[in-house]
Structure 1
């Protein structure tokens, strides 16, 4: 795809997404109920953390506010993915129903169409709560803030959003190989992001490998947090590698996507 075509596709994509968001905002009551509900759902995990730290002072050397930073760093990319790329979760139904045929004949990238097929307002709740947690954790943790803190956060969050969106697309591409209309596999794989809300030192080598290499969720929270908190850790340098991890997942997903398109045969085959 040429640079001009890419810009055109992205422009159309963001216009369609903004239209979906605007249509949702028109119903103010439903909009705010959805946001508050999403924040309450996300906050349920924080209740567990607060209760846990009522019994212990630290987890693997991480204080309660350090853990909150991990939560916030994981919430924002997830929320942005829900806002702009939640459509990947409709791929399986479109493939099984044959509706994916229409996606292929439209004059816009099938990948962008799939990403923008759905926009969830719940993402606003994740972004708001995640931003609040990051601000509180950085101001209440005993760390020095630098001129590069905000740019580093913005780069990490942007790259993290690309990363979780690529993973979301990748795990939903299983629908091109599985004949069933429903599958628990994508949901199960997506839940691995919860491991990134805690310091990965508490996990065994298998889980650390999965969330660092196979489904590299650790790059959206744990490794960047090592940099932000200036923790003296052997793997702290990986905190600067979130853009590289995101690029790697995009390349892997692009490769699998091309194989999925070749496998798709449409209705009646």
Structure 2
């Protein structure tokens, strides 16, 4: 109850702050839409030269991209830790965090909230409905529940991987460029993994499991039965990676030496 209360208090203060600058909020929303539109245009350009991509048609890949946007929106909202090394380790703000009687990772998540990123989920749902209607997909009564489970699992996959990467800073506190590189690698998880070679497919499934964010769960709703097992592994992989990341974080905090001389 204490952590839940803290979450809502942070959200309340965040909303008060953001609505003081409504123009900035609108600009951020517009830039996100522009970025998503560019990715959709890329897909359309690819299918302007071919009708199938290793057996996948245009609407299926657009549906997959739309699904990806939903867990990615949750991740962007609650796990905005791309500058953890620079802000909390190099500049020493983690010292402030550690003086408070609440888990350090939870505090950082609350401090870095970006609730406007949830608007990306609306865009993703709209893209899914559009492509799903063109594909003639049927919806069963249990699909919304599976969708929610898959989305949460995908967001935990992303969160777990990037928390683990942030933990590197506890042992190597110099400025690093690993986080931006990993963001670029994660974009490979937006598209069917069977268009890549076996090595990349293995990495995106078991090492950096970004395929569980969009590809595998979306394949379930697209009726790709050969990938059903992977789809139902999504929440399992998400929980495993997130728990491992928290355990690694706890060990890293013990190794933290502070920002003193």
TM-score of the superposition, structure 2-length normalised?
0.92
Distance 1:158 1:223 in 2: 14
The two structures, once aligned, show a CA RMSD in angstroms of 1.8
- The Cα shift of 1:112 comes to 0.5
1:257 to 240, 249, 260: 249
- The Cα shift of 1:121 comes to 5.2
Aligned to 2:206: 213
Distance 2:225 2:147 in 1: 19
Aligned to 2:29: 35
Is 1:196 aligned to residue 189 of structure 2? yes
**Conservation of the 8 A alpha-carbon contact between 2:64 and 2:219:** no
Q: Which runs of 5+ in 1 are unaligned?
A: 1-6
Distance 2:82 2:4 in 1: 20
Matching of residues 80-229 of structure 1 within 5 Å: 80-86=74-80, 88-92=81-85, 93-120=87-114, 123-181=117-175, 183-229=176-222
**Conservation of the 8 A alpha-carbon contact between 1:163 and 1:247:** yes
Q: Which moved more, 1:17-26 or 1:213-222?
A: 17-26
Distance 1:74 1:119 in 2: 20
Question: Once the two structures are superposed, what CA deviation does each residue of 1:95-137 show, in whole Å capped at 9, x if it has no partner?
Answer: 1222211111112110101112223355134222211111112
- The Cα shift of 1:253 comes to 0.3
1:192–1:59: structure 2 CA closer, same or farther, 3 Å change rule? Answer: same
Distance 2:252 2:4 in 1: 22
1:10–1:192: structure 2 CA closer, same or farther, 3 Å change rule? Answer: farther
TM-score of the superposition, structure 1-length normalised?
0.90
Question: Once the two structures are superposed, what CA deviation does each residue of 1:214-241 show, in whole Å capped at 9, x if it has no partner?
Answer: 22111121111221111232x3211112
1:69–1:52: structure 2 CA closer, same or farther, 3 Å change rule? Answer: same
**Conservation of the 8 A alpha-carbon contact between 2:89 and 2:173:** no
Q: Which runs of 5+ in 2 are unaligned?
A: none
Aligned to 1:245: 237
Q: Which moved more, 1:195-204 or 1:15-24?
A: 15-24
Distance 1:14 1:95 in 2: 27
SS of the counterpart of 1:116?
A: helix
Distance 1:50 1:268 in 2: 53
Aligned length, in residue pairs: 260
Question: Once the two structures are superposed, what CA deviation does each residue of 1:79-101 show, in whole Å capped at 9, x if it has no partner?
Answer: 22222221x22421211222211
